[in-house]
Structure 1
Amino acid sequence: MDWLKKLASLLVIIGALNWGSVGLFDFNLVTEIFGSATTVTKVVYSLVGLSGVWTALDYFKK
């Protein structure tokens, strides 16, 4: 399960950097790469969100 923690952490970092670029530069890298409202974009956002939940649960479990 160590690989799952690392993957979740990586996706959380990617999500944070993406939201930072949206806030600072009005630039969304995910939609630039995959398009707006595509299935792949929704999957990426869902995986980032689930990774955030997983990371938070792991953090508070300790």
Structure 2
Amino acid sequence: MSAILDLNRVIPATPAAVHRALRTAMPGTYTPELADRIAADIVARFEELRSSAVQSGGVR
């Protein structure tokens, strides 16, 4: 089975997933600002990955 990461779907879902995960895993540490910073970093990394993949022809 092949697993394909659809970044066009993953990127928009990332902030909500980070907020949910942080609230669940670290309720005493969670703040919306912290979750936003983490989500922004992850989204930026996904965007770089998507850009590299597009340039190499790996993403349609």
> What's the TM-score bracket when you normalise by the shorter of the two chains?
0.3 to 0.5
Structure number with bigger Rg: 2
Normalising by structure 2, we get a TM-score of 0.47
The answer to which structure, 1 or 2, has the higher relative contact order (CA under 8 A, 6+ apart) is 1
